[in-house]
Amino acid sequence: MAIQILMPALSPTMTDGKLSKWLKAEGDTVASGDLLAEIETDKATMEVEAVDEGILGKIIVPEGTEGVLVNAPIAIILEEGESAADIDDVAAAPAPAPQPATEAAPAQATAAPATAPVASEADYDGPMVNITVREALRDAMAEEMRADENVFLIGEEVAQYQGAYKISQGLLDEFGDKRVIDTPITEIGFTGLSVGAAFSGLKPIVEFMTFNFSMQAIDHIINSAAKTLYMSGGQMGCPIVFRGANGAASRVGAQHSQCYASWYAHCPGLKVVAPWSAVDAKGLLKASIRDPNPVIFLENEILYGASFDVPDDPDFTVPIGKAKIERAGADVTIVAFSIMVGKALEAAELLAAEGIEAEVINLRTLRPLDTETIVNSVKKTNRLVSVEEGWPVAGMGAEMAAIMMEQAFDYLDAPVVRVCGEDIPMPYAANLEALSLPKPDGIAAAAKSVCYR
Amino acid sequence: MTKVCEFEIHYTRFLDSEGHIASPLPLFADDSNALKALYRWMVLTRSFDARAVALQRTGRLGTFASSLGQEAVSVGAAAAMNDDDVLVPSFREQGALIVRGVPYKQQFLYWGGDERGSVYENNCQDFPNSIPVGSHAPHAAGAAMAMKLRGEKRAVLCLFGDGATSKGDVYEAMNIAGIWKLPVVFVINNNQWAISISRDKQTAAETLAQKAIAVGIGGEQVDGNDVIAVRHVVGKALERARSGKGPHLVEALTYRLTDHTTADDASRYRDENTVAAHWKEDPVARLRTYLNENAGWGKNDEEHLLETAAAEIEEAAQAYLNEPPQPPQSMFDFLFATVPPELSRQRDEVIRRVAEGGDNG
């Protein structure tokens, strides 16, 4: 029987890619292991090998097609004795079950961006543009680099390769290699160097391929960037942004999958920002680059491809230190940041179906925290659920609970509940990984419990 | 087997231990006033160290790291700088700070725990002391990158000790500076001791200068007790850096004649006789002998210098002691460019607490 060739997933987080080139033509004989096509993702170009033997009967997706979804049929291979007439049967057959590689990605992780509501800023009435978080980050950097020649981007793979996650696409072409700078694998080196450049009046944007690698350089972030203005009696400031993917990605294992929010939020002298939407990403990154203090900018790999409507205005920024009520509600307050905002909004939908109106607060900034917005919300709802992907011990949820004790104790009708990642290193096994992260139903259950329902 | 490449480490010294000419002096040494200036800075450094240790021993200064015996490295290297170069020092380089014009009072304030001590009016682009070992080496590379991006003909001088060369920070800084040809000169003030760990226990490398070879930059040794040699070698390296020829590593060999800091007692881990032997290499005495024999430096000159140095330092020490402490709320003022609301609330709280006498600050 004729066999469909499906668009393969070349990485755990890949949702679609470009079929850049066919290496076989219709009618060619194909042996197992033959190279069939070249596929391009946001990260890499890779070759696809044939698994089965036969004749390339039909090319369904022509070369040059972009946005080919993972698992979409791209070609048909005919077995010996079959003819092109057999092809229609195959095409009409129901789509096969997903390949193991895509099962590995937690379903809700990729679904979240698609179902996430569009964010918009209440005080903006200009034109909007629909862009991904990835594009928002790139646009924010490009706009600030155009506006201020002291701003530059530095990190591993940021220039020639345009970013390990393709955040810096086009920046090398526009700004040249003096301002978009590839480094050797030297986190201490390029972080410390950038801190020194910031001490000298430049405004570096340091990209960590992921925040896991910031651990190599954390001494420079905390002991040097965060403390030198203080220790020099106000003489030597450090206008710098440390940005990159933070938190659980997908199928990258314990050492490449963890949330640094509470690590950095703990430290005086730093500002810590965690965007969720493309609005957050663009507005907060622009504000972070303009800020005269060191800013930790925690992105999320899974959100990079999510699209949102964003104000189309280079003057639009989102203030650091202000939370945003993404959804108003009177029954329970859910605070979240980064990817968990989307989960919390999904949970709010589940709760609404049961007659519970949740107020979802996107924290946006973790230091300094907008306690006023949180406390005011709890004064209304009398209940708080804190959601984070990271570990519970000494996490952001612990801080939320403490704030409630200190500033809203008399307003609480139920104990604060924390929804966190499991207190373990991230499992690599797909089923265990999915189990260890907060999900909308768990958040909804926590919200119901504080509503005594 | 084929020899692929070969490297050499050169060593420079002009004056021997007795202060006699060991090899022809560099051109700048023709100017006896330049040498007298170096001598004066070394004497001032020694006086400052002595006064600072005395202040610490009487409870009026925090922990302090004396540079006794190492004055030639600190002074010679800084003297090779142009005014608009940038100094990135470690915590034992008061000689360099003195050369750079940082007032003694500022330095006393710094070691007394007053952050105003780092407010450099004369050289506002110089970096404050790095207390963490070696983490300022990448910062120095960063300052050099800023110069390079701006197209300036300036250079950075970064000083650290032998212990710092075992740190990844120093390697990574030199490596990245080498790739990008940054205008930075790293000077190892090799005093043979990292607290109680002697140089031979720090690394199996025969020299510290050879660490330059691994990262593809120039490296050499200099007699760190010969201030003329330090001034000359570092000066050449800075000049090369300013003209776009990239970074350089200088290992200055000297000896720590005193404790690591005032919190240390070196007699517990090293032989006093060895220390006594190293006094024969004393950089101050060495240049004094040279000046006596070649530049008409006489007894009166010496006495006058010691008197004026002691008086200058004493005046600064008194000014430091008479400086009113910063108000308690000052501890919140410089954490961020502008004080955020939550910190402002804590600041107000401290003011209130002190006003009510609940905390004398």
Question: Nearest residue of B to residue A181 by CA position?
Answer: B180
Q: Could you say which residues from 144 to 183 on chain A have a Cβ atom under 8 Å away from some Cβ of chain B?
A: 152, 178-179, 183
Residue A235 to residue B168, Cβ atoms within 8 A: no
Tell me, yes or no, whether B6 lies in a domain. no
- Min Cα distance A124 → chain B (Å) is 25
Nearest 5°: the CA angle B226, B232, B238 is: 130
Please tell me the pTM assigned to this model: 0.86
Summarised one tens digit per residue, pLDDT across range B258-310 is 999 999 999 999 999 999 999 999 999 999 999 999 999 999 999 999 999 99
Q: Quick one: average pLDDT of B322-328? A: 93
The CATH number assigned to the domain with range A3-92 reads: 2.40.50.100
In a domain, B305, yes or no: yes
Q: Both B318 and B333 in a single domain? A: no
Same domain, B56 and B111: yes
CB contacts, 8 Å: A321 with chain B: 340-341
The string of pLDDT tens digits covering residues A288-346 is: 999 999 999 999 999 999 999 999 999 999 999 999 999 999 999 999 999 999 999 99
- Contact at 8 Å (CB) between A250 and A106? yes
Query: Do residues B272 and B216 share a domain?
Result: yes
Size of interface A-B (CB pairs under 8 A): 137
Task: Write out the residue range of the structural domain in which residue B355 sits.
Answer: 326-361
Q: Which of B119, B124, B129, B334 to mutate to test the interface with A (most CBs of A within 10 A)?
A: B334
Nearest CA in chain B to A202: B146
Same domain, B108 and B155: yes
Per-residue pLDDT, A91 = 46
CB contact under 8 A, B88 and A196: yes
Break chain A into its structural domains and give their ranges.
3-92, 105-111+324-450, 128-311
**Chain A residues inside the 8 Å CB shell of B169:** 188-189, 192
How far is residue B300's CA from residue B302's CA, in Å, rounded to a whole number?
A: 5
Residues of A in contact with B120 (CB under 8 A): 235
Any B CB within 8 A of A7 CB: no
* C-alpha to C-alpha distance for A198 and B337, rounded to whole angstroms: 14
The tokens describing A162, both together, are 């345009």
DSSP state of A96: P
pLDDT tens across B11-45, in order? 999 999 999 999 999 999 999 999 999 999 999 99
Q: Do A183 and B176 touch (CB under 8 A)?
A: yes
HEC assignment per residue over A226-267: CCHHHHCCCCCCCCCEEEEECECCCCCCHHHCECCHHHHHCC
Distance between CA atoms of residues A243 and B333, nearest Å: 26
* CA gap A165, A14 in Å, rounded: 11
Whether residue B2 lies inside any domain: the answer is no
- Asked if A288 is an interface residue toward chain B (Cβ–Cβ < 8 A), one would say no
Is residue B162 over pLDDT 90? Answer: yes
B175 → closest Cβ in A179, A189, A293: A189
State the catalytic residue, choosing from B10, B57, B116, B269.
B269
Of A194, A198, A229, the CB nearest to B335: A229
pLDDT, residue B360, reads 52
Q: Which residue among the candidates B199, B231, B260, B286 is catalytic per the annotation?
A: B260
Q: Which of residues 128-167 of B touch A (CB under 8 A)?
A: 128, 132, 135-147, 149
In the 8-state DSSP scheme, what is residue A32?
T
Which H helix or E strand runs over A401? helix A396-407
CA distances in angstroms from A37 to A17, A18, B17, B333, listed in the order given: 12, 11, 74, 61
Right CATH for A105-111+324-450 from 3.60.20.10, 3.40.50.920, 3.40.50.720, 1.10.420.10: 3.40.50.920
A105-111+324-450 shares its CATH topology with A128-311: yes
pLDDT value for A10: 72
Catalytic hit among B256, B286, B288, B347: B256
Q: In this structure, are B250 and B270 located in the same domain? A: yes
Residue B19 lies in a domain: yes
Homologous superfamily of domain range A128-311? Thiamin diphosphate (ThDP)-binding fold, Pyr/PP domains (3.40.50.970)
User: Which residues from B are below 8 Å from A154, CB to CB?
Assistant: none
B79-128 pLDDT tens trace? 999 999 999 999 999 999 999 999 999 999 999 999 889 888 765 799 99
pLDDT the model gives residue A4: 82
- The A residues from 87 to 146 touching B (CB cutoff 8 Å) are none
* Same domain? B104 vs B219: yes
**B56 is a domain residue:** yes
* Minimal Cβ distance to B139: which of A199, A369, A371: A199
Q: What is the CATH number of the domain that holds B139?
A: 3.40.50.970
B120 shares contact with chain A (CB less than 8 Å)? yes
Residue A190 contacts B where some CB pair is shorter than 8 Å? yes
Residue B275 in contact with partner chain A when CB distance is under 8 A: no
| B211 shares its domain with B69 | yes
The residue that leads in pLDDT, B361 or A143, is: A143
Is A191–B138 a contact, with Cβ atoms under 8 angstroms apart?
A: yes
Mark whether B39 and B102 lie in a shared domain: yes
Tens of each residue's pLDDT in chain A, 453 residues? 678 888 877 776 677 888 888 988 888 888 888 888 888 876 677 788 777 788 888 899 988 888 888 778 898 888 777 766 666 554 444 444 333 333 333 333 333 333 333 344 777 889 999 999 999 999 999 999 999 999 999 999 999 999 999 999 999 999 999 999 999 999 999 999 999 999 999 999 999 999 999 999 999 999 999 999 999 999 999 999 999 999 998 889 999 999 999 999 999 999 999 999 999 999 999 999 999 999 999 999 999 999 999 999 999 999 999 999 999 999 999 999 999 999 999 999 999 999 999 999 999 999 999 999 999 999 999 999 999 999 999 999 999 999 999 999 999 999 999 999 999 999 999 999 999 999 999 999 999 999 999
Calculate ∠ Cα A285-A172-A224, nearest 5°.
50
- Which among B243, B341, B253, B194 is positioned nearest to B9, based on CA atoms? B253
Same domain, B319 and B348: no
Any catalytic annotation for residue B39? no
A230 near B CB under 8 A: yes
* Average pLDDT over every residue of B5-9: 96
- Interface probe for B, chosen from A152, A153, A154, A193 (most Cβ of B below 10 Å), is A193
Which positions of A are annotated as active-site residues?
187, 256
pLDDT of residue A79: 78
A128-132 vs A307-311, strand pairing mode: antiparallel
3-class DSSP state of A116? coil
For chain B, what is the domain count? 2
Residues of chain B numbered 38-97 and touching chain A (CB < 8 Å): 86, 88
Q: Are residues B332 and B318 in the same domain?
A: no
For residue B82, being part of any structural domain is answered with yes
Q: Check whether residue B65 and residue B163 sit in a common domain.
A: yes
B residues 294..333 contacting A (CB < 8 A): 333
3-class SS letters over chain B: CCCCCCCCCCEECCECCCCCECCCCCHHHHCHHHHHHHHHHHHHHHHHHHHHHHHHHCCCCCCCCCCCCCHHHHHHHHHCCCCCCEEECECCCHHHHHHCCCCHHHHHHHHCCCHHHHCCCCCCCCCCCECCCCCHHHHHHHHHHHHHHCCCCCCEEEEEECHHHHCHHHHHHHHHHHHCCCCEEEEEEECCEECCEEHHHHCCCCCCCCHHHHCCCEEEEEECCCHHHHHHHHHHHHHHHHCCCCCEEEEEECCCCCCCCCCCCHHHCCCHHHHHHHHHHCHHHHHHHHHHHHCCCCHHHHHHHHHHHHHHHHHHHHHHHHCCCCCHHHHHCCCCCCCCHHHHHHHHHHHHHHHCCCCCC
Say yes or no: B306 and B334 in one domain: no
